[in-house]
Amino acid sequence: MKKISKTQNYSTLITDLASLIEQGRKAAVRYVNTALVATYWLIGRRIVEYEQKGKKRAEYGETLLKKL
């Protein structure tokens, strides 16, 4: 059986810790991106609701469609 030196164990530990940190960072980026997309979507939804003023379509849309 091979004997593993303390240096190899320490090196493996450092590599494993670095990997955990990197995985955590990637997970955090994914979470933040998801939260930002949801936030921007909600902002867009609020703007549309404001422009429509409770109607099915905003008035400017009718004029735009006639022009097109």
- pLDDT value at position 13? 93
Q: Token pair 């190899």 is at which residue?
A: 8
In a domain, 1, yes or no: no
Q: Establish if 11 belongs to a structural domain.
A: no
Give the DSSP H/E element, type plus range, for residue 50. Answer: helix 6-52
**Per-residue pLDDT at 65:** 59
Q: Which two tokens stand for residue 58?
A: 């905003």
pTM confidence score = 0.61
Q: Number of folded domains in the chain?
A: 1
User: Which stretches of the chain drop beneath a pLDDT of 50?
Assistant: 1
Is residue 51 situated within a structural domain? yes
22 belongs to a structural domain: no
